Amino acid sequence: MSTLALVLSLALQAAPPAKTPPKPVAPAAEKKKMTSEPKDKAAATEDVVAATRAWQAQRLERLSAEGGWLTLVGLTWLEEGKQAAGSAPDSDVPLPAPVPSHAGTFVREGDSVRFEPAPNAAFTLEGKPFTGGALKTDEKGEPDVLRLGSVSFQVIRRGDRLGVRVKDTQAPARKQFHGIPTYAPSAAWKVEAKLVPDATPRTITVPNVLGMQEEMKSPGTLVFTVAGKEHRLVPVLEDGSDELFIIFGDETNRDTTYGAGRFLSTPLPDKDGRVVVDFNRAYNPPCAFTRFATCPLPPRGNRLALRVEAGEQRAGEH
């Protein structure tokens, strides 16, 4: 090998290897990167829509069930003493047919009510013939429910008032029910709130459509933001419930939603006090469907200064 060839050979061996040029980003990978966030957002929206539709189907099923609010056809407040019940027009406690015209007698004595059926009225209690006696009210747990054909009744207590609540599975409202109009489900109305507990346990005053007031336990105040503005709602916690119950009003009550307000339930807060408030599940109170319900109204401070265009809209004429 010549001297020149030897020098060239040694130089080539000593030179660093050439750098491999970077590979261009694959168009598919770049496209995936660019579209991943919108896809996630679209999936979240689809989840809210599907979950809301499923919840609405269950809600309509409960409402139109044999014991649902659409079957409520009567409410009579009892006076002290005897009151005749039946389908006769002059009955003190009106009951719909097929109940006999003279079906029996309610007797109120202070805080107790008993019912004495007429001989021709075959009422049952829990599937067994009822021949007369005291009736348990709804004040503490489930009330006694007497049945005859499609008609049933129970005694309810509201404050110091005792009333007979009547239901009929053949009620026109139930037979003619075709659903409830709703806003389109939206992920924007599923908001995260913070439950700010009160320094000491308290109750709040909740009015109802009867003009009465009830003291209910409240665990604190829900604080959340909609469109950059902070809002607050005070929920109540009913005995034995694993949810927060919210009775609220908003500016849509004036035109598109039930005028007296709507109801909403949420999960209990997590360990950090966070609560998901899904307004897509705001629903009408029973009073939206019948004049015989005794619905609570939004307590002081629970009327929002915004339009909550989510959940159920107006239904019926009550």
Mean pLDDT score across all residues of the chain: 89
The bridge status of strand 133-134 relative to strand 128-129 is unpaired
Half-sphere exposure of 259 (CA within 13 A, CB side): 6
Residue 200 is part of which domain span? 180-288
Phi, psi (rounded to 5 degrees) for 195: -85, 115
User: Average pLDDT, stretch 228-243?
Assistant: 94
| Rounded average pLDDT over 114-118 | 98
pLDDT at 239 (0 to 100):
83
Based on the fold, state whether residues 108 and 202 are members of the same structural domain. no
232 and 166 share one domain: no
Residue 314 within a domain: no
pLDDT at 111 over 90: yes
Tokens of 171: 């009620």
Q: Residues 6 or more apart from 308 whose CB is under 8 A from it? A: 189, 248, 250, 251, 252, 257, 279, 282
Q: What is the pLDDT of residues 161-182, one digit of tens each?
A: 999 999 999 999 999 999 999 9
Does residue 147 lie within any of the structural domains? yes
Integer Cα distance of 149 and 151 in angstroms? 6
In angstroms, the CA 122 to CA 130 distance is: 7
Residue at 56 is within a domain = no
Q: Looking at per-residue confidence, does 251 or 1 come out higher?
A: 251
pLDDT at 247 over 90: yes
- Asked if residue 104 belongs to a domain, the reply is yes
100 plus 164 within the same structural domain:
yes
* 249 in any annotated domain: yes
Higher per-residue pLDDT: 1 or 148 = 148
- Identify the residue with better confidence: 224 or 18: 224
Residue 8 domain-assigned (yes or no): no
**Distances, alpha carbon 292 to alpha carbons 63, 74, 285, in Å:** 15, 6, 12
Q: What is the pLDDT of residue 278?
A: 98
3-class DSSP state of 213? strand
Q: What is the pLDDT of residues 76-108, one digit of tens each?
A: 999 999 999 999 999 999 999 999 999 999 999
Q: Residue 82's closest CA among 100, 105, 104, 111?
A: 105
In a shared domain, residues 281 and 196:
yes
Nearest C-alpha neighbor of 124 from the set 147, 108, 102: 147
Q: How confident is the model at residue 304 (pLDDT cuts 50, 70, 90)?
A: very high
What pTM value is reported for the model?
Answer: 0.83
CB 302 within 8 A of CB 234: yes
Q: What is the pLDDT of residues 183-210, one digit of tens each?
A: 999 999 999 999 999 989 899 999 999 9
Sign of CA dihedral 7, 11, 12, 14: positive
Distance of CA 56 to the CA centre of its chain: 10
